Amino acid sequence: MSLGQILVSHVRSAMLAKLRGQPLPEAHPVLSGMRSGVFVTVEAIVRSGGFERREVRGSLGVVEPYRDLAYDTAKIAAKLVYSIPRFTEFDLRRSVVEVTLVGALREWDGELEGFGWGREGVYAVSRRGMAVVLPQTMVERRILGDALHRYVESLVGPPERLYRFDTQIFYELHPEGEVIERELWRSRVIRQFLEVVR
């Protein structure tokens, strides 16, 4: 199994355990030996007018590890399931799971030249709180270029500290289906943006 398949399977096991009131799988032969920040996202498949779209039901995570990847991912997955109103096993079977691994935080001066669009995320800290902007959010909401700074300020006000981090995103193509690594830097949205700014 690939790392992506292992992560998504572990997340699903933790969610199912939480929904059934069973103990969480807090250890794993591979993941217990790894440390990383991690975010878990659940998307529902919504069908209307002959089309399918994905709708985020919830997303939760940490930018820095608390313990190890098995423990942290299980706890986050369980807390996420609990936070989604009226979420059931039936909903889980019809949902897509995405897991984003967060690399080491690097202090960032906000300079956009050389920023890794589609690869890097942002962590901002201010007096009002903190905010994380994952690369998939930037692509899906077209928060590219200076719009990123405006978006961060809308969340936490003027940031006192900014960090950037690399990500690795694993994603189910269909509910309980094949898991791939998302290569957002290849997306049409980013290609078009880079063509304009060059």
Q: What does each C-alpha distance from 122 to 5, 73, 191 come to in angstroms? A: 26, 20, 20
Name the domain count of the chain: 1
Q: Does 50 score more than 90 pLDDT?
A: no
Cross-strand partners of 148: none
CATH number (domain holding residue 57): 3.30.700.20
- Please enumerate in sequence order all residues whose Cβ is within 8 A of that of 117, keeping only pairs 6 or more positions apart, or say none: 135, 138, 139, 144, 184, 185, 190, 193, 194
- For strands 161-172 and 129-133, give the pairing: unpaired
* Residue range 6-31: mean pLDDT, rounded: 97
Task: Show the domain range for 100.
Answer: 3-197
- pLDDT tens, 70-105? 999 999 999 999 999 999 999 999 999 999 999 999
Q: What angle do CA 194, 195, 198 make, to 5 degrees?
A: 80
Q: Does 30 score more than 70 pLDDT?
A: yes
Confidence at 198, pLDDT banded by 50, 70, 90: low
Q: What angle do CA 20, 25, 30 make, to 5 degrees?
A: 150
Please state the pTM of the whole predicted model: 0.94
Q: Does 197 score more than 80 pLDDT?
A: no
